[in-house]
Amino acid sequence: MIAGIIGATGYAGAELVRLLSGHPKIEKLVLSSVSFEGEKFEDIYPNFLGRVSASLLKAEDVIAASDVVFSALPHAVGEPFAAACMERKIHFIDLSADFRFDDDEAVYSAWYGKTYQYPELHKKSVYGLVELNRRKIKELAAKGSVIIGNPGCYPTGASLGAFPALAKGLFGGGTIIVDSASGTSGGGREPSRSFHYSECADSVAPYKVASHRHSPEIARNMAAMAAGFPSPQVIFTPHLAPMSRGILSTIYIPLSQKWRVTPGGANMPPSKEIEAKTEEIRALYADFYKDEPFVRVLPAGLAAATNRVRQSNYCDISVNVDLNGSTLIAVTAIDNMVKGAAGQAVQNMNILFGFDEKTGLEAIPALF
């Protein structure tokens, strides 16, 4: 099978090249670039030297030669390529935000400053958070070519951390707070001052407080996950952390009356009741995700950490009931470039083609 990647020279595109180069079902990659057309991929990224020497083509030529196309372009430029893929009846997996809000153009326009160029395409697409929409993705694939709106990196970690609590009625209503810290590769390859080494190394700082584009995607996912139970208000604060890869999200979930425990007493360590409730919730999370190949609910005493998922498609989750007995603290760790982008896109491709979902994604995380 031939896979095409449009925007292959960006960070997400290059990560797709890395993962798909080792995918047993992919015989050939065809890659596009505007800035480096005609040059060899290995000359742009010398870590691929001797492994990926393909010359960079025009996007149109990539689409014409491919059985499946990934788009790793910025938002608001990929819709014509999606249209061309639908014309050719091949699947299109979009890593940008263009197909993440299909049923809500008003929200997309408000945050991304653009209306849909091809409104009919948004009826053929599905949001690619696999753990939420696997069945829908398979149903659409059975009918023909599909457009996947691959989820944003922050929404992936934040949503997966709250999903069991929302779907199983642990959430008691009110506000879920999500504090996330991301590595610098989240900003892409284009240099900018705030991502300059001397301005971001050795420091952690919030950015786009109360104004990040991933807020509506997180809120929308959580509302969908809470079907039948109350939907949360969401407060999301992203931080830039001095690391290349990874997103750690700490998610504070108010518990429903049924799941609350009486605190152990003012300023006292966790009571036996809180420890028991933590165990009960951990078991519920583990059961909820027991058939998910890439979600690991961590055992007691192990907190989610970005280095333990690095370069892998895992989302690790640790859970604790707070000392107050009424708040669940779920912490998730993902690699923003893999589960938060290219890995999740490959997982989606595997589902679309009926391959084992883990194909090409089984590498053990690189701790350092």
Cα–Cα distance for residue pair 332/347, rounded to 1 Å: 19
Which residue among 3, 5, 13, 163 contacts ligand NAP (CB under 6 A)? 13
Token output for 66: 């491919």
Of 214 and 260, which has the nearer Cβ to ligand NAP?
A: 214
Asked if 315 is an active-site residue, the reply is no
Which residue among 3, 5, 7, 222 contacts ligand NAP (CB under 6 A)? 7
Of 296 and 339, which has the nearer Cβ to ligand NAP?
A: 339
Q: Is residue 11 near ligand NAP by the rule CB under 6 A?
A: yes
Cα–Cα distance for residue pair 340/352, rounded to 1 Å: 18
Stretch of 185-193, 194-202, 260-268, 274-282 lying at the interface with ligand NAP (CB under 6 A): 185-193
Cα–Cα distance for residue pair 160/162, rounded to 1 Å: 6
Of 11 and 288, which has the nearer Cβ to ligand NAP?
A: 11
Stretch of 68-76, 109-117, 173-181, 215-223 lying at the interface with ligand NAP (CB under 6 A): 68-76
> Residues binding ligand NAP: what is the number (CB under 6 A)?
28
Which residue among 73, 93, 218, 295 contacts ligand NAP (CB under 6 A)? 73
Q: Please tell me whether residue 29 adopts helix, strand or coil conformation.
A: strand
Strands (E), 32-89: 68-71
Pattern 79-98, binding to ligand NAP, x per CB under 6 A? Answer: ----------------xx--
Q: Is residue 337 near ligand NAP by the rule CB under 6 A?
A: yes
Say how many C-beta atoms besides its own lie within 10 A of residue 60's C-beta.
13
Say how many C-beta atoms besides its own lie within 10 A of residue 336's C-beta.
28
Of 329 and 341, which has the nearer Cβ to ligand NAP?
A: 341
Token output for 306: 């970005």
Strands (E), 91-192: 91-94, 125-127, 147-149, 175-182
Which residue among 66, 145, 185, 249 contacts ligand NAP (CB under 6 A)? 185
Buried (b) or exposed (e) across 204-214, using 16+ Cβ within 10 A?
Answer: eeeeeeeebbb
Of 130 and 341, which has the nearer Cβ to ligand NAP?
A: 341
Please give the full DSSP string across 287-335, using - where no structure is assigned.
Answer: HHTTT-TTEEEPPTT----GGGTTTSS-EEEEEEE-TTSSEEEEEEEE-
Of 214-233, binders to ligand NAP (CB under 6 A) are none
Q: Which residues of the chain form contacts with ligand NAP (CB under 6 A)?
A: 7, 9-13, 33-36, 72-75, 77, 95-96, 152-153, 185-186, 188-190, 336-337, 340-341
Q: Which residues are the active-site residues?
A: 153
